[in-house]
Structure 1
């Protein structure tokens, strides 16, 4: 039986010590989580918008990975913060991947920035600056979840499950076709959403790839992605 091909969007970064060289990057734990769940991870490098159709055609499911802020032009706002943590070419390419995945009815699993971008692609908006959502160190967790019963997240995580937090922006207006299924009980930040009907969409604000080795619920999330989403 052929393995499920899961495309993971890659970022581009300059590596210190390798002056002038740009690398395609993705957290290895994200690919490992897919592989451990029985899927075959395929990293999709940033490319031309015209390539989106071919990339989506070759995969079974799409993961939108974390990274930079989403350019506010895509939700009708001017930039209101002092930051250079943007990559317009990535936004444009991944928005094309989203459009094509929706057209081809391919499931989308969106993590952190990916969740924010998917919300924007579907007509939502973002808070450009939030506080107290970036924990110290990549190990461990920082807060709990308030989960909507009978949701996809509710099938995978317990009420009060602990998650990590590495984001400086968050969802402001949720896109019309989505429903929020988990919140941060401290301030109401949307931590998960899914599609109301139709397309198989699941977005989470935290990073399960940094937890899956020690957390059975996170491993279950990756199995759900590969086997059911």
Structure 2
């Protein structure tokens, strides 16, 4: 296969959005996400929420998939009750993105989860989440930064072999790992910062926001991984 691979990006619905004189519901995504894919050599395709039964057909047309950041995953998805600092659920988004993850795993499509996307990947594979932790977000509307250390021998370490400082904004984290996942990076306080499937299709989740930084190696690794899974159309 030649040409730039098609990378799908999950989007979300936002009500009360102004479009000139109109106030309408919109399917949105911060522009940093598609720009991140474009800079890494891919074509960005925005995936608005849809019925979960359509996820397999959508993923079948993609070379790679990114599950993007956003609000807290509903705790019922991993058998917990909401904590006092857990945000309100977006059940439609949870359902659609879980269906996308399941379809990508079933088809062997390379998958990158970012922040919420990593947490949802963990939940999709039977893992749980810490519902609140301090010190991993900046002030509202401002990304913080902290260093993450790769775990040697992992796919993440092959892409980013040294400690780097990353843009962060989250208050939840991976607790019990989902089936098959291994930790591939940690913060200084031990918080899980990246998880992956060590064999089979390229599947990686990172807790930080590469779309808000300058280091594009994780996204380039996703784009490069599509070369082994792309099929003629």
TM-score by length of 1: 0.90
Q: After TM superposition, where is structure 1 displaced by more than 3 Å over at least 4 residues in a row?
A: 15-20, 82-85, 136-141
Do the aligned residues in 1 keep the contact of 2:150 with 2:162 (CA within 8 Å)? yes
Counterpart position of 1:12: 13
Query: What secondary structure sits across from 1:159 in the alignment?
Result: coil
**Superposed counterparts of 1:73-88, under 5 Å:** 73-88=76-91
The structure with the largest strand share of the pair is: 2
* Counterpart for residue 162 of structure 1: 165
What does 1:120-131 align with in structure 2 at a 5 Å threshold?
120-131=123-134
- Residue 215 of structure 1: aligned partner: none
- How far the C-alpha of 1:125 sits from its partner, in A, is 0.2
- 2:208 match: 206
- Residue 82 (structure 1) shift: 4.5
Q: CA deviation at 1:137?
A: 6.9
Q: Please state how far the C-alpha of 1:131 moved relative to its aligned partner.
A: 0.9
What's 1:223 paired with? 220
- Structure 2-normalised TM-score? 0.89
Query: Contact (CA 8 Å) 2:74, 2:88: kept in 1 or not?
Result: no
Q: Residue 202 of structure 2 contacts residue 222 of structure 2 at CA under 8 Å; is this kept in 1?
A: no
Q: Is the 8 A contact 1:139 1:210 kept in 2?
A: no
* Cα distance change of structure 1 residues 188 and 15 upon mapping to structure 2, 3 Å threshold: farther
Q: Which 5+ residue runs of structure 2 have no aligned equivalent?
A: 227-233
Counterpart of 1:98 in structure 2 is 101
Other-structure match for 2:230: none
For residues 28 and 15 of structure 1, the distance between their equivalents in structure 2, rounded to whole angstroms, comes to 19
Number of equivalenced pairs: 223
Q: What is the distance in 2 between the residues matched to 1:168 and 1:141?
A: 12
Distance 1:199 1:227, change over 3 A: closer
Change (3 A) 1:197 1:68: same
Helix, strand or coil at the partner of 2:14: strand
Take 2:201 and 2:131, find their aligned partners in 1: how far apart are those partners? 27
CA distance in 1, matches of 2:101, 2:160: 26
State the superposition RMSD in angstroms: 1.9
In structure 2, the partner of 1:190 is 192
* 1:155 Cα offset (Å): 2.3
Alignment of 1:113-152 (within 5 A): 113-136=116-139, 142-152=145-155
